[in-house]
Amino acid sequence: MITVFSEEHQKRNAKTELYGGRLVPPHECPERAQIVLERVRAVGLGEVMAPARFGLDPVLKVHDERFVEFLESAWRDWVAAGNLGEAIPDCWPARRMTQRAPTSIAGRLGYYAMAGETSISAGTWEAARAAADVAVTAAGHLQRGARGAFALCRPPGHHAARDLYGGYCFLNNAAIAAQSLRDHGAARVAVLDVDFHHGNGTQDIFYDRADVLYVSLHGDPAHAFPYFSGYAEETGAGGGTGFNMNLPLPPATEFFAWEQALASGLARIRRFAPDALVVSLGVDTYAQDPISFFKLASDDFSAYGRMIGGCGLPTLFVFEGGYAVADVGVNAVNVLTGFEGG
């Protein structure tokens, strides 16, 4: 299996995250991707290659143009306004307030943010752009007949909606890849999200579409970020009704129950009969992860990789979460090697 990876991810090296009422070093850090890359090479998974550059066309297929312009200029505008720290929003257009992007960068941060924990720092835009290129490049290998490919993206993407960032995400790598697959001949694409947190952004982008099925297993949003998205009754809208499947699971879920939910999601994917599958590969379902409450062990990741492989679909894995840094490489690569044996 080929791995696509960009050293540009290191430009995203924020120093602050709002967590537990304090500004702390971010859980989402450059070491995560480097450790996964080291594991990919250690097990001989396959060739590691740099991405091609695609410009903004694939990004603008799923994201609002003004939102993309905001991301591109946000750090520059923040610094120009005289701010000394990293850019974190402090005001949002809440219920019954005007939904209009202000001129002030502080106001625009709140307008385009879905959460306040994620700072924008120097290099954020460049890293996010490179991650999108990683995803599109890896999707191209499926288009050319590969059974599987791994987009080692950083920053992650599945919380990025059409016009919102947050949850460490700026551009939605999995959605950009899924749309690229559609644009290059796939009549139907399924997205399977196995990250602990619900991929509110991916759901938002495809919610009214029947050509892209979204299936997500995640912590019950009554207890887990992003709190306001991911309930079972969210099944799609308009022409996309019935093409969004959420499988929320309670605190302390162990692999037996998680595996049953995955089997249900994979059954729905088989009925959909997609031409390709995109997996939002978050490994923060691990029992030792600092910001989740599931109880999967490292061997469980191999097992569910085999289950995904058993679908027999061309599959693109797009790296998302996983914050137990010592184990993130083992767990992510266990899924990939399990898939190859499945």
Q: What angle do CA 15, 121, 327 make, to 5 degrees?
A: 50
Residue 159 is among the residues annotated as catalytic for this protein: yes
> Which tokens sit at 104?
């002030």
Name the amino acid, one letter, at 233: E
b/e per residue 222-241 (b: at least 16 CB within 10 A):
eebbbeebbeeebebeeebe
> Which tokens sit at 156?
């992650």
Q: Are 36 and 332 in contact (CB under 8 A)?
A: yes
Helices (H), 81-199: 105-112, 124-143, 173-183
Residue 205 to residue 202: CA distance in whole angstroms = 5
SS3 179: helix
Look at the chain and count its residues: 342
User: Can you say whether the dihedral through the CA atoms of 16, 217, 155, 301 is positive or negative?
Assistant: positive
Residue 88 to residue 110: CA distance in whole angstroms = 8
How, if at all, do strands 17-19 and 22-24 pair?
Answer: antiparallel
From the candidates 63, 159, 197, 198, which is the catalytic residue? 159
- Which phi and psi angles does 90 have, rounded to 5°? -135, 10
As annotated, the active-site residues are 159
